[in-house]
Chain A
């Protein structure tokens, strides 16, 4: 059969985000796939070199729109490491709670995208509504719906308002009480099983070789999570489990996402119970005259898509000399996607892409 070249995206219904793939197809089998990123390239790391340490906070959170909070954390952690700033105990707990809420929000957005793509419109509407409830909490806490700029070097910007703890618990109970509904209509649905089982399969060996992290790696049976191996914030203060599946296909990946969400909810309850009283931020020097010693640092955390890292270099000035983000979608979208799409059918492209949890702005930066 003759080989054809097919352009998939950036304007395409099956495409989430501004991303494009060139497919070489034979009939409806994909022979070769070439990812074509760069539609969202803004040169963030170059822009960061021209702004002072504190001016960069509004910038970093805009790198990934789906989960800006982990980006903030990454930059704050790197600055803290370079400047040697300590974080108070209560701020650590607030950070963890805030990041777990962000993870739930981000996973619900992912669930919306996945369910919407498979045609489960009811589930998609639920997920989007529940995400909005989480965003309402953020709005009350920080004043912003999408971009928060809440984490600050030396702690967080402000303490929880009065009664906020109860509202977190209420919201999580509302979302948690719908888990059986989600399970009945989506996760245990035969249609979902048929569409997602054995699609986009990668083995543990392949995943390690190609630099997979996050759900993609955990769905292949590897128990790896930065929150356990290199605990930051207050993740070492509570007990929790890493959800794992062994098949490495789209079905397992989405199940890992579901289990992670539930684990996050439990974790927030435990963190709220143990939260100590006290200060929420340590004073930082005057931001206008703030200079950071000549050093470099690499920090990493577990974002909702996997290992997120930041390599930050200072040359003793009032601006970063170089910043480079290591984003989880980078390898998922450029190396693994090309491999996972081989010998699949055109109808499954969107399925595989969303199950790999790729967000385009993270790749392009």
Chain B
């Protein structure tokens, strides 16, 4: 008998042409797709019952010069097989001027996640209603969560350069 993951994988491969799906664990399905099909894949999964967007994450693979976006979906269903499944939808985009469409029309709670990724990775989400700063106060030349941003160097350059008031007084 096939388990829920295998069935879903077959269903996905039938419906979409250029995606790869893999059941690596008993309860885990990894889907790789192109960046313009993400939204259709997500809405397909949403309609098949995986209606909880747990997380949108991003990994900076600096050696391959790509950013990998990871959408993690689970289900609210009380059906045991479905509720155990974790689906990871992955897509790769370029590091220079990264951008893709927002998934807010499918999952409403994607809004703060996309705002965060815009701020920490510099990814532009087209159609997002407010891409305003979420966490940060200062402006950074390189978005701080990218691999080429060195926090230790930044701390030395900014915070360690500020003199103690006593030293300043002695100087004058």
Contact = CB atoms under 8 A, between A and B. Distances in A.
Q: Do chains A and B touch in the complex (CB under 8 A)?
A: yes
Nearest to B84: A230
Nearest to B146: A46
B80 interface: yes
A211 B107 contact: yes
A219 to B, nearest CB: 15
Interface string B109-144: 101110000000000000000000111110000001
Interface residues of B, number: 37
Given A43-B151, A46-B151, A335-B111, A298 B135 contact: no
Contacts of A322: 57, 59-60
Given A211-B52, A211-B109, A43 B88 contact: no
A37 B133 CA distance: 10
Interface stretch (B13-21, B33-41, B70-78, B91-99): B70-78
Main secondary structure of the interface of A (DSSP, over half): mixed
B60 A335 contact: no
A37 B54 contact: no
A211 B151 contact: no
Interface stretch (A12-20, A113-121, A177-185, A324-332): A324-332
B84 A300 contact: no
A209 interface: yes
Interface in A220-240: 222-224, 229-230
Contacts of B55: 298, 309, 311, 324, 326
A45 B112 CA distance: 17
A208 B51 contact: yes
A335 to B, nearest CB: 5
A132 B54 CA distance: 33
Interface string B130-164: 00011111000000110001011000000000000
Given A46-B145, A298-B86, A324-B55, A335 B109 contact: yes
B104 to A, nearest CB: 11
B151 A38 contact: no
A124 B83 CA distance: 37
B84 A229 contact: yes
A344 B51 CA distance: 29
B27 interface: yes
B151 A50 contact: yes
Contacts of B134: 37-38
Contacts, number: 85
Nearest to A209: B108
Nearest to A339: B108
A210 interface: yes
Interface in A179-225: 208-211, 217, 222-224
Contacts of B112: 330-331, 334-335
B9 interface: no
A328 to B, nearest CB: 10
A266 interface: no
The binding surface of chain B is classed by DSSP as mixed
A255 interface: no
A278 B149 CA distance: 47
Given A222-B76, A324-B55, A331-B109, A46 B144 contact: yes
B53 interface: yes
Contacts of A224: 76, 78, 83
Contacts of B149: 46
A211 B86 contact: no
A364 B136 CA distance: 10
B57 A311 contact: yes
Contacts of A165: none
A41 interface: yes
A169 interface: no
Contacts of A45: 145
A362 interface: no
A364 B135 contact: yes
A6 interface: no
A307 interface: yes
Contact of B83 (A43, A217, A229, A330): A229
Interface string A331-347: 10011000000000000
Contacts of B113: 330
B135 A41 contact: yes
B6 to A, nearest CB: 18
Interface in B20-52: 27-28, 51-52
Query: What are the 6 tightest A-B residue pairs by CB atom distance, in nearest-first order?
Result: A211-B109, A38-B135, A326-B55, A334-B112, A229-B83, A41-B135
Given A229-B80, A307-B54, 9 more contacts: A38-B137, A47-B151, A50-B152, A208-B52, A222-B76, A224-B76, A298-B86, A321-B59, A364-B135
15 contacts: A38-B136, A46-B145, A208-B51, A210-B108, A211-B109, A223-B78, A224-B78, A229-B84, A298-B55, A300-B74, A309-B55, A311-B70, A311-B72, A313-B59, A321-B59
